[in-house]
């Protein structure tokens, strides 16, 4: 599992651009920037939709006011689902990074096997602060249905 002080591995996400889906690498997202990255098991799932993401939407300005350049959300969903989730959540100004095949989640060792629930491979729930590609803060939830250690309020206490 990735640790504080580690560099993020190279991976490619998908995002919605003006002409449709486009690729963005970890360098595109994190190089030369201070980014809060939120990992969630799935868009629209109860804990992600009602408990985890809303805190970052609510506290967006406060987080950005602490020298953070961007707040990004990644999930093992396709780019179209993440685009719909961003709109349905009122998450304007947050970056949504589709990790459709769980490549990034696996590369950082934060994948979760949800096959017993019919979900396939997913990402564990976490939040991290990444500075120029290096993990500076990492909060991983022990229980996938909770959003306490990885929530916006917890992250604000250590930013």
Catalytic residues: 48
Q: Are 8 and 131 in contact (CB under 8 A)?
A: no
Give the burial string for 15-28 (b: 16+ CB within 10 Å, else e): bbeeeeeeebebee
From residue 62, give the alpha-carbon distance in Å to each of 66, 71, 156: 7, 11, 8
Tokens of 25: 């690498």
Residue 27 backbone phi and psi in degrees, to 5: -60, -40
């Amino acid at each position: 599992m990735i640790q504080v002080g580690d560099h993020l591995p190279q991976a490619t996400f998908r995002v919605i651009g003006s002409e449709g889906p486009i690729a963005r690498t970890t360098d595109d997202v994190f190089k030369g920037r201070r980014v809060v990255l939120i990992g969630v098991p799935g868009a629209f799932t109860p804990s992600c939709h009602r408990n985890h993401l809303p805190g970052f939407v609510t506290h967006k300005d406060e987080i950005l006011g602490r020298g953070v350049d961007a707040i990004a959300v990644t999930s093992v969903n396709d780019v179209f689902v993440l685009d719909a989730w961003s709109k349905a959540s009122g998450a304007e100004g947050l970056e949504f990074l589709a990790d459709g095949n769980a490549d990034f989640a696996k590369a950082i060792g934060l994948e979760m096997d949800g096959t017993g629930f019919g979900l396939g491979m997913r990402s564990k729930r976490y939040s991290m602060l990444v500075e120029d590609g290096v993990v500076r803060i990492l909060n991983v939830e022990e229980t996938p249905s909770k959003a306490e250690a990885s929530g916006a309020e917890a992250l604000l206490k250590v930013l």
